[in-house]
Chain A
Amino acid sequence: MNPVQAAVTWLNDPLNWTNPGGVLDRLGEHLSMSALAVLLGCLVAWPVGLWLGHSGRGGGLVLLVSNVTLAIPTLALLTILPLTFLGFGRASVVVALAVFAVPPLLANAYTGVRQADAEARDAARGMGLSGGQVLRRVELPLAVPYLAAGFRTASVQVVATAALASFVNGGGLGQIIRAGFGLDIAAGGGQIIAGGLLVAGLAMLVEAVLAVVERMVTPRPLRRVRRRANRRAEAATAGG
């Protein structure tokens, strides 16, 4: 039986889905872990990015953050954080994943505010709006498409990276692949491929769903501009 057939057989066994530690359990872990990490990333990156963009400073900082994160191996962060005060378990995995969500969120929030029309900003000032009001009422709405694009990039990246949590027994769908590698490659080949299919399928599904969501929250006139900025942010944050 070749590995692909073995994978289909593995996926067709209902017990592999419903057993404790089966696909359904792992899927739940994977999604909750990823959701928490993206949420945490948003809480940190969006306020900072918006403020930096508003004040017009920190372009270098944004670049630095994305470059440094690119160089840190996910595996290192996943193994280091449990040994700090965070301790073993969900918290450290979520924080590690959130670190990789920050660069696209930050870069897009920053660009989103920076690209806001200077004339609109001046007009708002002329109307007597304070700095905070300009940010809230003018720059923030104009930055929404960028925030959405960053959210999508970050989410997909986190869902993809969450597979690596299995290296520290952090749960998630990656655990199925790791367990397969734990067996002999001949015996576990089917399970390895099945796990890979599940992880890749989930990442693509999330990508597709969020692409639709992103389109819905982006007003039509802003659609083309957004795509260009997103590509730039993506280029700065490869890996996972």
Chain B
Amino acid sequence: MFLHLSYRAAPGNPWFSWQYVRDNSDTILAALREHTWLTARAVVIAALVALPLAVAAYWFRSLAASILALTGVLYTIPSLALFAFLAPYLGIGAATVLTVVALYALLVIVRNTLAGLNQVPPEVREAAEGMGYGRWGRLFRIELPLALPGILTGVRLATVSTVALVTVGVVVGRGGLGQLIFAGFQNNFYKAQIMTGTVLCVLLALVLDLILAGVGRLLTPWLRGRIS
């Protein structure tokens, strides 16, 4: 996808310009679509990898320490540096952005899932064992459902931070709304363009967070009525 980043400047370079939004709705929508698509894919990939990892860490204590240590180290690596490590191999484009943001999302989800699993009371675990549940049955029927609030918190945190992080993808030419922000900066500091990109980023994070909160409510009917 190629983003057309041209614009017709309103006089006086205002922070908000409805004319800019109208004249460039195609570009803006394309950037928004790319941003949403990158975020969604990254979070889904991260969740698919993170859940088994967290379960493995939950089952095997020795793995937990190394998985948490590894995620901790990864977390200190600046995003730009991670782009630098991956770009020469994955090339300029969506694959690099996706890998980088998914890696950071992974850490948040693993950490929160593990915390959620560890909060399952030992009595519950023992009762399940007494009822004859095996390791897998216990995991799917009891432990994962009870850990759902923790998992969902992790996914929500990961989503919001991923929306912000995708913008750094500008460095490899796939930043979604970041593309808009950066282009505005380069186009003689066109404020309306920068502001539109920023506001849409924050709104996107808000909307995705609300959607996930709604999904969480649907998935955990037993928590309804309680204040979380």
Q: Which residues of chain A have a CB within 8 Å of any CB of chain B?
A: 3, 67, 70-76, 79-80, 82-83, 156, 159-161, 163-164, 166-168, 174, 177-178, 180-181, 185, 189, 192-193, 195-197, 199-200, 203-204, 207, 231, 235-236, 238-240
Contact = CB atoms under 8 A, between A and B. Distances in A.
A83 B197 CA distance: 15
Nearest to B186: A79
Contacts, number: 148
B172 interface: yes
**Nearest 5 interchain pairs by C-beta:** A196-B84, A160-B78, A189-B88, A3-B88, A76-B198
A82 B177 CA distance: 19
B201 A73 contact: yes
B167 A73 contact: yes
B181 A76 contact: yes
Interface residues of B, number: 51
B127 interface: no
A73 B178 contact: yes
Interface string B159-171: 0110111011011
B34 to A, nearest CB: 14
Nearest to A174: B80
A203 to B, nearest CB: 5
Given A73-B198, A239-B161, A203 B205 contact: no
A200 B198 contact: no
Interface of B: 73, 75-85, 87-89, 91-92, 104, 107-108, 111-112, 157-158, 160-161, 163-165, 167-168, 170-172, 175, 177-178, 181-182, 184-185, 189, 191, 194-195, 197-198, 201-202, 205-206
A234 to B, nearest CB: 8
Nearest to A203: B76
A79 B81 CA distance: 20
A71 B35 CA distance: 14
Contacts of A67: 160
A3 B164 CA distance: 29
